[in-house]
Copies of this chain bind each other. A is one copy, B any other.
Amino acid sequence: MRYELYYQPSIQGRGEFVRLPLEDAGADYVDVARDPNVGRPGVMKFIEDPSLEHPPFAPPFLKAGKLLISQTANILQFLGPRLDLVAGDQASRLWAHQLQLTIADWLHEAHDTHHPLGNVFYYEEQSAEAKRRAAVFITHRMPKFLGYFERILKRNTSESGFIFGAPVSYVDLSLFQMIEGLRYAFPRTMARLETQSPRLIALHARVKARPRIAAYLSSARRLPFNQQGIFRHYPELEED
């Protein structure tokens, strides 16, 4: 089956959490909005089609045959078993999804560091508020989330270093992306915190070295981080 991913054409954003498993599995997929004739307008037009039975609230969404699925964690839950990126038993699937939703909360908070008042205002119109919000994120929330996932990896006594032992799961791929994004957005903070999260950092390296992921990261398909995405680098947010 050829999967169709609909997202924004110029940022990693939430779409990246779907691109990574598709790439790691070598799945047949098309990133629809990257076609210059489609772009973001084409994706938004698709959403507003009144004949859609299950209209998404917002991108990303995935077309898989007749199914149209939105909400990142929902898409991953759907793709997981199909791409062999999650174990088959119910307890594992619930656990993977629970972790993915916790990652979604973490990502939400990372976004809110630069847009605490919402996307209606430019960053420049809320930079003072962003500064206060980022301080909380750096001081309290980043250590809490990093510590949580480190603790879970510690409880996994297997040598594989992935969340489920082995093989890799879509949750591992999302954790890789979180570390990537946080290093881009908060390099000074990450330099300080990474020593306390050795297992998570090793997981990141392990994912990065996977052949298909490595090929993807060095391809033109991997968009660079930039100041329009969810992870943005405003140096002033890390300054005391």
Binding site for B on A (CB under 8 A): 53-57, 66-67, 69-71, 73-74, 77-78, 90-91, 94-95, 97-98, 101-102, 105, 108-109, 112, 116-118, 120-121, 126, 129, 132-133, 136-137, 140-141, 145, 148, 151-152, 155
Contacts and interface: CB of A to CB of B under 8 A. Distances in A.
Copies of this chain, whole number: 2
B120 A117 contact: no
6 contacts: A54-B98, A55-B151, A56-B98, A74-B94, A117-B132, A118-B140
Contact of A69 (B54, B78, B94, B141): B94
Per DSSP, chain A at the interface is: helix
A129 B148 contact: no
Nearest to A144: B57
Contacts of A108: 108
A136 B133 CA distance: 18
A117 B114 CA distance: 11
A7 to B, nearest CB: 16
Given A73-B101, A108-B108, A116-B116, A67 B94 contact: yes
